[in-house]
Amino acid sequence: MPARTGRTPGAQGETVNVSVLDGHEVVYVARSNRLRVGCVGFHAGVRIPAPVASPGTLLQRTRADEDLLAWVASREFAGFTSNTLVDPPALLTQVRAVRGQAPCVLRGGLDVGRSGVSVVLRDRFGEARATVGMTVQSQAWSLGQIVARLVPALHDTTQTLRPLIEADQVDPGRRRGGQSDCR
C-alpha cells in the first residue's frame, strides 16, 4: 500500500488486511507484508467466524435489523477466549454499538493477547464492500493509541484503495440501462 504520509499503516509498522463477509465468516482477501519478526495478522484466504473479529462485527452492522436477528438466530456461536461473545443478545448489542462509529476495535475475541481494529472500505456509491484492518499485540497498543494512531492510518489507506473498487464488477445490477456509471 502506497506510503503517502506518515500515517499509513506501513509507517506504523503493522500488517494490514482487507476482508469481506461471506455468510457467517470473515474472509481475508489481501494482506500487506511487513518485514519484521512478530508481525500478526491473517494471510489471504483465511476464514474465521465473523463475531470474533473486528471486520465481522463492522460488516454485520450494515445488515438491516431483521437480517441481523436472523443471522444471530441461525447458529450457535463458539467461544475462543473468555472475551468472545457467544450470547446472542450480547452479539446484537456489540454490532448495534458500532453502527454509530467509524472504526471497530475488538480486544481478545479470537486471541487474548491481540486486538483487532477495522474501518469500512466503501465503493464510489458509498456502500460498504470490505474492511481494512490490523491485528496488533494488545500489550503494545492501548485502546487510546489504536484510536489515535492506527484508525487515521486505516482511513488514509481506504482513501488510497477506494478508486480501485469497481462496484459494477462486484454487483453488475448496479448499472442502469447498460450505461456506464463512470463520472
- pLDDT at site 182: 28
For residue 25, tell me if it sits in a domain.
Answer: no
- pLDDT at site 19: 93
Domain tally, the chain: 1
- Joined together, the cell numbers standing for residue 179 give 450505461
What would the pLDDT profile of 119-137 be if each residue is shown by its tens digit? Answer: 999 888 888 889 999 888 8
- pLDDT at site 104: 84
For residue 33, tell me if it sits in a domain.
Answer: no
What would the pLDDT profile of 87-116 be if each residue is shown by its tens digit? Answer: 788 878 878 877 766 688 888 777 778 888
Phi, psi torsion values for 26, nearest 5 degrees: -95, 135
Residue 132's DSSP bridge partners are 18, 119
For residue 23, tell me if it sits in a domain.
Answer: no
SS3 12: helix
- pLDDT at site 3: 40
Which DSSP string corresponds to 103-131?
EEEEESSS-TTEEEEEEEEE-TTS-EEEE
Contact 43, 26 (CB under 8 A): no
Domain span including residue 61: 50-165
Q: Is the pLDDT of residue 86 over 80?
A: no
State the average pLDDT over residues 50-71: 84
C-alpha 82: how far from chain center = 22
| Domain containing residue 73: CATH number | 3.30.450.40
Regarding pTM above 0.85, the answer is no
Q: How many CB atoms lie within 10 A of CB 160?
A: 14
Say how far apart CA 126 and CA 130 lie, in whole Å.
12
Highest mean pLDDT among 6-10, 72-76, 78-82: 72-76
Say how far apart CA 60 and CA 76 lie, in whole Å.
16
- The per-residue pLDDT of the chain, averaged, comes to 76
Specify the higher pLDDT residue, 103 or 13.
103
Provide, rounded to the nearest whole percent, the portion of the chain with pLDDT above 90: 10
Residue 31's DSSP bridge partners are 17
For residue 71, tell me if it sits in a domain.
Answer: yes
For residue 45, tell me if it sits in a domain.
Answer: no
For residue 139, tell me if it sits in a domain.
Answer: yes
Res. 27 pLDDT band, cuts 50 70 90? very high
For residue 126, tell me if it sits in a domain.
Answer: yes
- pLDDT at site 40: 58
Which range among 19-23, 52-56, 153-157, 171-175 shows the weakest confidence by mean pLDDT? 171-175
For residue 176, tell me if it sits in a domain.
Answer: no
- pLDDT at site 35: 53
Which range among 5-9, 38-42, 125-129 shows the weakest confidence by mean pLDDT? 5-9
